[in-house]
Amino acid sequence: MFARSAARALASPSRLFSTSASRHTKVAVLGAGGGIGQPLSLLLKSDPLVSSLSLYDIRGAPGVAADVSHVDTASEVNGYAADKLDEALDGVKVVVIPAGVPRKPGMTRDDLFNTNASIVRDLATAVARIAPTAHILVISNPVNSTVPIVAATLEKAGVFDPAHLFGVTTLDVVRAARFLAGVSGASPNDTPVTVVGGHSGATIVPLLSQSPYGKGISGEAYAQLVHRIQFGGDEVVKAKDGAGSATLSMAYAGAKFTNSLLRGLNGEKGVITPTFVKSSLFADQGIDFFSTNVELGLNGVEKIHPIGPLSAEEEKLMEACLPELKKNIEKGKAFVA
Ligand SMILES: NC(=O)C1=CN([C@@H]2O[C@H](COP(=O)(O)OP(=O)(O)OC[C@H]3O[C@@H](n4cnc5c(N)ncnc54)[C@H](O)[C@@H]3O)[C@@H](O)[C@H]2O)C=CC1
Ligand SMILES: O=C([O-])CC(=O)C(=O)O
């Protein structure tokens, strides 16, 4: 049963990847040897919009590259060891960063800051030097702080383009669709949810009132669904019991977002998905990064959509989100300053 459905999914990866465009792109994965990096590299090898994959890690990337390179798709794959970061970044248009440590039970994403802040800063410094116009997709946590760290690092180097920097919040969107499908009985294809804010606990704000299947959910069922979307990461951390956090669903989400960006870069119109970007939506409150629906286009961020109408419950979720998000962003900026 499993073998049959897995074979079908591999034979027809149409839900994950679109093939409408024809321009192909060189993509780097920094942290390619890790729990996310390995399956993400495999999925990107299957994306017809990727022409070349550059896999880098301080450990194990050449082995992952040798393995993934045998998959019978057109893209080239090269692996780069710890001292070969500059070569790994040569000529890349898109850089995906899942490098850094994951959570263990009892930790918050912010507890990862001390280790991951410098990893992300150093990788961003190299991107600024070798591939200054690349689009950078940040997966490493805490995303609410690591994205401002990358922005400030690029700014310091004089190469920051806000249209080229994305915090990957797609896993929240994937979870929201899946969990809403679970309670509504509909297919996840029909239950997309716009998730705004940031990527941790209370900063994750699902806008269920804007979804035909979500707007009727109320009371305890609503509270439980929102909690599950906000704390889905904890479910996985707990179940893995010390062996890390979400890797496979994150690889899926990372590949999905990368494909959306590549479609936009190829000129496809109407590619819209939430992502954590430099945004003026809440700048008057001192919050200059925010995730909301973003149209992706030839230059990356094409248009940042407003959050739209909120229910009374969502107003309250936003009230809890904004001060925490502000603190996370300021912490990231202060690290680079
Ligand atoms: N944005 C999101 O929705 C999600 C983010 N994450 C985050 O992704 C990150 C990675 O998670 P996992 O893959 O599970 O961790 P992992 O520990 O399995 O892999 C991390 C990889 O990064 C590599 N690495 C460390 N320093 C590096 C450097 N300076 N340059 C290149 N590579 C380096 C390690 O060698 C390792 O292979 C964590 O920070 C985790 O919290 C995880 C799930 C979802
Ligand atoms: O929970 C974690 O630490 C990893 C993560 O960001 C997620 O699964 O959403």
Residue 103 structure tokens? 């959570």
Does the pLDDT at position 333 exceed 60?
yes
Record the pTM.
0.95
Mutate to test the pocket of ligand 2, among 36, 103, 147 (most ligand atoms within 8 A of CB): 103
Tell me if 61 is assigned to a ligand binding site.
no
Tell me if 35 is assigned to a ligand binding site.
yes
Taking domain 170-336, whether its CATH number is 2.60.40.10 is answered by no
Q: Quote the pLDDT of residue 5.
A: 38
Q: Quote the pLDDT of residue 16.
A: 72
Tell me if 122 is assigned to a ligand binding site.
no
* Protein residue with least CA distance to atom 2, ligand 2: 233
Domain with CATH 3.90.110.10 in the chain: 170-336
The dihedral sign for the CA sequence 191, 304, 96, 239: negative
What is the Cα–Cα distance from 316 to 313, expressed in whole angstroms?
5
Residue range 124-178, pLDDT digits in tens? 999 999 999 999 999 999 999 999 999 999 999 999 999 999 999 999 999 999 9
Domain with CATH 3.40.50.720 in the chain: 2-10+20-167
Average pLDDT of span 252-280: 98
Contact 325, 196 (CB under 8 A): no
Q: Quote the pLDDT of residue 205.
A: 98
What is the Cα–Cα distance from 16 to 248, expressed in whole angstroms?
14
Task: Confirm whether 135 is a catalytic residue.
Answer: no
DSSP structure string for 236-274 = HHHHHTTS-S--HHHHHHHHHHHHHHHHHHTT-S-EEEE
Residue range 9-30, pLDDT digits in tens? 333 334 677 655 556 799 999 9
Q: Quote the pLDDT of residue 80.
A: 98
Q: Quote the pLDDT of residue 22.
A: 55
What is the helix, strand, coil percentage profile of the chain, to 5?
Answer: 50, 20, 30
Residue range 208-242, pLDDT digits in tens? 999 999 999 999 999 999 999 999 999 999 999 99
2-10+20-167 CATH fold = Rossmann fold (3.40.50)
Average pLDDT, rounded, for the chain: 94
Task: Tell me which DSSP letter residue 98 carries.
Answer: -
| Ligand 1 proximity of 119 Cβ (cutoff 6 Å) | yes
Q: Which of 24, 135, 199, 305 is catalytic?
A: 199
* Protein residue with least CA distance to atom 24, ligand 1: 99
